[in-house]
Chains A and B, each alone.
Chain A
Amino acid sequence: MSRNPLVREVPPTTWFFRHPRYLRYMSREITCIFIAAYCVMLVVGLQRLAAGPAAWDGFLLALRSADSIVFHLLALAAALYHAATWFNATQKAMPIQIGEDFVPGSVISGAHYVAWAVLSIAVLYFAGAF
């Protein structure tokens, strides 16, 4: 009997609509756009700082605009979502075995959340928030 297998192509641009889990994946990946945009903004800020006090004040003024506040809120939401997916992934990438048993994944991810909180508080402290 001869074979005549039927090959089905995967649509290269619309595949992620095929299943909600693919959309979840894409939403995680898309957060990187906001994170990259935020990095660009920080670099621009540095450049303005180097350009002198007037340029820096202009930059600070621009940060207070409504557009900028909306962008900050979006970027914050994206960064939080990105961080959460990352921390939840750590338990898969870094299992810890003690004797015959593995440390529960929630402990590994939890430790990352704790470290995140501690570092965030330290940054706020050095920034003079309290």
Chain B
Amino acid sequence: MTPLKERLVQLEVLRYNPDTDTEAHFQRYEVVCQEEWVVLDALNKVKADIDPTLNFRWSCHMAVCGSCGMMINGEPKLSCHAFLRSYEGVIRVEPLAHFPIERDLVTAPDDFMEKLKRVKPYIIPKEKKPISEGEYKQTPAQLMKFRQYSMCINCMLCYAACPEYGLTPDFIGPAALTLAHRYNLDSRDGGRLARQEVVATHEGVWDCTFVGACSEVCPAHVDPASALQQMKITSSIDWIVEHLIPGGKS
């Protein structure tokens, strides 16, 4: 077996202590890592060997739980999926942009959680049927219609990438709106009109100017930008039916 290659990694990490600091500042660490490690491994090594006060979130270490999102050299990334070999020189690690910093690399996701709730991200059955009538069936084609949009891991990288969310914090934002779309497209669901009250508003899809950054950074290939553009089309059709077609109602 060939021995694992080691590398001295320099990290520049944004630190903020809510008990003592009024501003965040960068702190430099140098740590010996294995060449095939990810940035999260380097942070864990720093925490274990150099500075136990460093705070960051993670859980699965396999790009599934969505809790380790950070800005790495200015790009929103899952730190468990950001390989050290992709970076040269000093690696700059900051908390996710556009979210308040709770402590060091830990951000406050409260706003995102609140917005998720507002889009009613659950199936609102078209017609309720008693359990005795069995399950709601779905064909593979009906599943494929929304499957991609159900792959979101709530990592919030898309919010950190979206300049619109940074400038207009009221914007419901990519992942939450995409989840609304996921349920709207579900053959078992009848809740689209109820969701439109949030979706077809300024804070909803109309704050989106189609920068497309969300889709570029999404680690789960959800493509939120496509969901939002599709919802703009259905919302426009609703409007035309309601306002321009006599007797039409959406």
Quick check: B233 and A6 within 8 Å, CB to CB? no
Q: How far is the CB of A12 from chain B (nearest CB, A)?
A: 6
Kindly state whether residue B186 has any CB partner on chain A within 8 Å. no
Chain A contacts for B74, CB-based, 8 A: 18-19
Chain A contacts for B16, CB-based, 8 A: 6
22 A/B residue pairs, CB under 8 Å, sorted by A? A3-B18, A3-B102, A4-B18, A6-B24, A7-B100, A10-B97, A10-B98, A10-B163, A10-B166, A15-B167, A16-B163, A19-B75, A22-B211, A25-B213, A92-B215, A92-B225, A92-B229, A94-B233, A95-B230, A99-B141, A100-B140, A100-B144
Q: How far is the CB of B53 from chain A (nearest CB, A)?
A: 15
Quick check: A12 and B225 within 8 Å, CB to CB? no
Choose among A18, A92, A102 the residue with the greatest number of B CB atoms under 10 Å from its CB.
A92
Quick check: A97 and B144 within 8 Å, CB to CB? yes
Chain A contacts for B226, CB-based, 8 A: 92-93, 95
Chain B contacts for A100, CB-based, 8 A: 140-141, 144
Q: How far is the CB of B186 from chain A (nearest CB, A)?
A: 14
Report B181-235 residues with CB < 8 Å from chain A CB. Answer: 209-213, 215-216, 223, 225-226, 229-230, 232-233
Q: Which residue of B lies closest to A5 (CB)?
A: B100
Kindly state whether residue A21 has any CB partner on chain B within 8 Å. yes
Report A1-47 residues with CB < 8 Å from chain B CB. Answer: 2-8, 10, 12, 15-16, 18-19, 21-22, 25, 29
Q: Which residue of A lies closest to B140 (CB)?
A: A100
Which of under 10, 10 to 19, 20 to 34, or 35 or more describes the interface residues of B?
A: 35 or more
Q: Which residue of B lies closest to A15 (CB)?
A: B163
Quick check: A5 and B167 within 8 Å, CB to CB? no
Query: CA–CA, A49 to B152, complex, Å?
Result: 57
Kindly state whether residue B19 has any CB partner on chain A within 8 Å. yes
> A-contacting residues of B (Cβ < 8 Å)?
16, 18-19, 21, 23-24, 74-75, 97-98, 100-102, 108, 140-141, 144-145, 163, 166-167, 209-213, 215-216, 223, 225-226, 229-230, 232-233
Q: Which residue of B lies closest to A29 (CB)?
A: B209
Choose among A6, A7, A21, A93 the residue with the greatest number of B CB atoms under 10 Å from its CB.
A6
Kindly state whether residue A67 has any CB partner on chain B within 8 Å. no
Q: Which residue of A lies closest to B232 (CB)?
A: A93
Query: CA–CA, A12 to B101, complex, Å?
Result: 20
Query: CA–CA, A68 to B98, complex, Å?
Result: 44
Chain A contacts for B140, CB-based, 8 A: 100
